[in-house]
């Protein structure tokens, strides 16, 4: 009975070690590419229009551009994992294309005397 438990622990340790090595290799790749600015730069700035998803009373959602801040800018890193405080570009491109959900706020109730 102890044999399957020992095998499971070794498999778990190998998976954790492989994930750690993958992350460290990814971080090293980003650092090395950031040392020399070139076309292989790991950081990219994405810009897209800000679209607001506004719920209406009939249950539908209307999409309108944000008048106050019409353009959104996100800096991302070309890697598998987040590095230097930036999201990976494969994740950021999905996020920047999604409309921003707005919530309807109800007026505060008036105090009764």
Quick check: is 110 in a domain?
A: no
Of all residues in the chain, what percent are helix, strand and coil, respectively (each to 5)? 40, 25, 35
Quick check: is 108 in a domain?
A: no
- The single-letter DSSP state of residue 84 is T
Quick check: is 113 in a domain?
A: no
Q: How many structural domains does the chain have?
A: 1
Q: How many helices (H) and strands (E) does the chain have?
A: 2, 6
Quick check: is 22 in a domain?
A: yes
Quick check: is 111 in a domain?
A: no
pLDDT confidence tier of residue 107, bands split at 50, 70 and 90: low
pLDDT given for residue 105 in this prediction = 63
Q: How would you classify the pairing of strands 87-88 and 71-77? A: parallel
- Give 13-41 pLDDT, tens digit per residue: 999 999 999 999 999 999 999 888 777 78
Q: Give me the domain span that covers residue 50.
A: 2-101
Quick check: is 106 in a domain?
A: no
Indicate the pTM of the whole model.
0.70
Which of the pair, 103 or 80, is modelled with greater confidence?
A: 80
Mean pLDDT (the chain, rounded): 88
Quick check: is 41 in a domain?
A: yes
Quick check: is 112 in a domain?
A: no
């Amino acid at each position: 009975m102890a044999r399957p438990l020992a095998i499971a622990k070794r498999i778990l340790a190998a998976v954790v070690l492989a994930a750690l090595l993958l992350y460290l290799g990814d971080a090293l790749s980003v650092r090395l590419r950031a040392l020399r600015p070139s076309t292989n730069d790991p950081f990219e700035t994405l810009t897209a229009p800000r679209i607001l998803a506004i719920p209406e009373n009939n249950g539908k959602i209307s999409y309108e551009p944000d008048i106050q801040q019409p353009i959104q800018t996100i800096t991302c890193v070309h890697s598998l994992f987040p590095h230097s405080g930036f999201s990976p570009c494969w994740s950021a491109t999905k996020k920047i294309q999604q409309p921003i959900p707005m919530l309807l706020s109800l007026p505060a109730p008036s105090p009764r005397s």
